[in-house]
Amino acid sequence: MQPAPIQVSYIGFPGTTGATYIDYLVTDEFVSPLRYANIYSEKIVHLPHCYFVNDYKQKNLDVLDSNCQHKRSYYGLPEGKFIFACFNQLYKMDLEIF
């Protein structure tokens, strides 16, 4: 039993849910090209002329005030090293965890 006759995944995670009970994935052509539709459990619905922005500050550093552009060292992180992190949703982060 489904909570609704048609269920749609939108924003949040841009990939397939793998869930048979999700009918559609609303996404964009860049993140979910139709040539990969066969690996999605959902039918793909593209919003025209859009891209789901996921990190606008990194892509547009030139428009930010230079005082806002902190280096890794500001956060106690090493420069020139790979740092793996998947915070997913910021409500999961606090000073103790970070």
User: In the sheet where 43-46 sits, what is the strand order?
Assistant: 8-10, 24-27, 43-46
Give per-residue pLDDT as tens, 87-97: 666 666 666 76
Q: What is the pLDDT of residue 98?
A: 58
Q: What is the pLDDT of residue 68?
A: 62
Give per-residue pLDDT as tens, 47-88: 888 776 666 566 666 666 666 667 788 888 888 888 776 666
The token pair at 77 is 């992180």
Q: What is the pLDDT of residue 2?
A: 77
Give per-residue pLDDT as tens, 22-41: 999 998 888 899 999 999 99
End-to-end CA distance of the chain: 40
Q: Where are the domains of the chain?
A: 1-98
